[in-house]
Structure 1
Amino acid sequence: MDLHLQGKVAVVTGASKGIGFCTALQLAKEGVHVVICARGEKHLEVAAASIKQLTGADVLVVPADIMKEQDCRDVIEKAVAKFGRIDILVNNAGTSSAHSFEQVTTELWQADLDLKLFGAVQCAKYAVPYMKQAGGGSIVNVTAVLAKTPPANSLPTSVSRAAGLALTKAMSKDLGQYNIRVNAVCIGLIRSDQIEKRWKSQAPDLSWEDYSKEVGQSIPLGRIGDTEEAANVITFLASEAASYVSGTAINIDGGSGEAL
């Protein structure tokens, strides 16, 4: 299937590793000019070198702290200065912060919302005018399955992620008239640096495949998901293959979620 992405320009936040990196790589494989940002410049440079080596794509590296509005603006402005337009924004930057209600301080609430909610808001704020100029675009907000059915001890992440779902739906209503589609993906248990550290610490004698199956026994598909599997869905949503998909949230969780 031709995703009609050749020559498009994408900004991916939190792209130095994990889902963000894999998404940038998959987009580059489809002929997209990618702009990657994160706080760690060293990790970004390694990621960019890898993407260039594997795809030959032109990659722009912009170190940025998405919690700062000026940094969000700089990422978008530098992307446009380099490539002349923006067609795709993947709001992926985020961390896991899960505690009981009484453990969450005011500072932790604010930091989580600044990163996961307002980071996406500010990046979109500066990207949307350029998408309108280009005749449309696609925004994909990366959230989590617990946003739909928050368990105990999931704060503040479950709340900020739920806000991201509301943001996605509201933006899709406002921006559809400009042919700008806004969707979300809800991530379940996906291979990450944190999970790999847990694997090497808890079960160093097991292969990744065996560890994945053991941990994933409660998941209908019976394993931990791969980052590439998440990146593939994000790339689809960003593409013209999903041209009539907007305002929705897709679970990438192996069937473990309790809500559609």
Structure 2
Amino acid sequence: MSDLMNFGYEGKAAVITGSSKGIGRETAEQMVKLGAKVMLVARGETALKEAADELSQYGEVAYIAQDITEAGAGETIVEAVIKAFGRLDILVNNAGSSFAENFEDVELSDWEQDIDLKVMSAVKMSKAALPHLKKQGGAVLNLTAVMGKTPQPNSLPTTVSRSAGLALTKAMSKDLGKYNLRVNAVCIGLIRSDQIEKRWQKQAPDLSWEEFSARSGEKIPLGRIGNTAEAANVITFLCSDLASYVSGTAVNIDGGSGHAW
């Protein structure tokens, strides 16, 4: 049983984009508690520093304030990781946003910004990290969305970007497996976030979170909104040694609401 529960994070270094809050922050906490050294990445330095200060009680944490869509951002972040920890084993491409409109209402600039943030930033980060990940094998985890598998009306451009993220994950897993490098994705459904919190306070401030979650989750088989720890649990597993024979897959974290495997 002890071998089964060895996640294998001790001595490893991870970089997580979009990790000052939400799923990225929760994932960082779990990995640090399991022995990993973690580089937090986000645009806002204040929130990053607060997260790093909190997580440092559990282990070794560093941070870098960086817009990952900027030219050379991937190289800058990877250099910071190597300088801080001397190695890089795990990359979690978590940075993203939610932008969904009707096709007619989406401007070309919106398409460019969305694809740059959700697809090209993952490509750039992965390319920059690859020379280090290849040295000892490792894991890349791309966060996408359930809607990327089954796009719905008024869901552009985000569903297209997320679908591209799924294709990127599968193709990378085929090309990089020869280095013992695993590439997986998680497809996020309705998870408690700043955006959901604001919706709760605006639409139903008289309801408790449990009541709002149940009402919002009426069409979700599990009957509620998920939380960040539940998403981080799956990500932490997929990046661990316990998932050493899992690659090229995309796991739904959606309470059963998705319409595809």
**SS of residue paired to 2:72:** helix
- CA distance in 2: counterparts of 1:8 and 1:205, whole angstroms: 45
Whole-Å separation in 1 of the counterparts to 2:143 and 2:31: 16
Instruction: State the secondary structure of the residue aligned to 2:14.
Output: strand
The structural deviation recorded for 1:69 is 3.3
Cα displacement (A) at 1:187: 0.1
Give the CA deviation at 1:87. 0.5
Secondary structure at 1:233 match in 2 = helix
Superposition TM-score, scaled by structure 1 size:
0.97
Q: What is the aligned partner in structure 2 of residue 164 from structure 1?
A: 165
Instruction: Find runs of 4+ consecutive structure 1 residues off by over 2 angstroms.
Output: none
Residues 101-120 of structure 1: pairs in structure 2 closer than 5 A: 101-120=103-122
The answer for the alignment partner of 2:55 in structure 1 is 51
1:85 is matched with which residue? Answer: 87
Aligned match for 2:32, one of 28, 31, 36: 28
**Deviation digits for residues 133-162 of structure 1, max 9, x if unmatched?**
2x2010000000000000011000000010
Where do 1:173-212 residues align within 5 Å?
173-212=174-213
- d(CA) in 2 for partners of 1:113, 1:202: 30
Find the counterpart in structure 2 of residue 225 from structure 1: 226
CA contact (8 A) 1:9 1:32 kept: yes
Q: Offset at 1:6?
A: 1.1
Cα contact 1:9–1:83 (8 A) shared by 2: yes
- Alpha carbons 1:65, 1:72 under 8 Å: kept: no
In structure 2, distance between residues paired with 1:187 and 1:69: 28
SS of residue in 2 equivalent to 1:184: strand
The one-letter code sitting in structure 2 at the alignment partner of 1:241 is L
1:39 is the counterpart of 2:43: yes
Distance apart, 1:130 and its partner CA: 0.3
2:217 alignment partner, SS class: helix
Instruction: Report if aligned partners of 1:104, 1:156 keep a CA contact under 8 Å in 2.
Output: yes
Q: Is the 8 A contact 1:69 1:119 kept in 2?
A: no
State the partner residue of 1:236.
237
In the TM superposition, residue 111 of structure 1 has moved relative to its aligned partner by: 0.4
Take 1:8 and 1:62, find their aligned partners in 2: how far apart are those partners?
A: 18
User: Aligned with 1:86: secondary structure?
Assistant: coil
**Paired position in structure 1 for 2:249:** 248
Amino acid at match of 1:160: S
Aligned residues of 1:69 and 1:122 also touching (Cα < 8 A): no
The amino acid that maps onto 2:97 is: T
Q: What do residues 83-128 of structure 1 show as CA deviations (whole Å, max 9, x unaligned)?
A: 1110000000000010011111111100001100000000000111
Structure 1 stretches of 5 or more lacking a match?
none
Deviation at 1:222, TM superposition (A): 0.4
Quick check: 1:138–1:238 contact (8 Å CA) kept in 2? yes
Q: 1:36 is aligned with what amino acid? A: L
Aligned residue for 1:62?
Answer: 64
Query: What do you get for the CA RMSD once the two structures are aligned?
Result: 0.7
What percentage of aligned pairs have identical amino acids?
60
- Helix, strand or coil at the partner of 1:69: coil
Question: Can you list the C-alpha shifts for 1:24-71, whole angstroms capped at 9, x where unaligned?
Answer: 111111111000101111111111112123x1x111111111112311
Deviations 1:212-260 (A, max 9, x none): 1111011000000000000000000000000000000000000000000
Output the amino acid matched with 1:45.
Answer: K
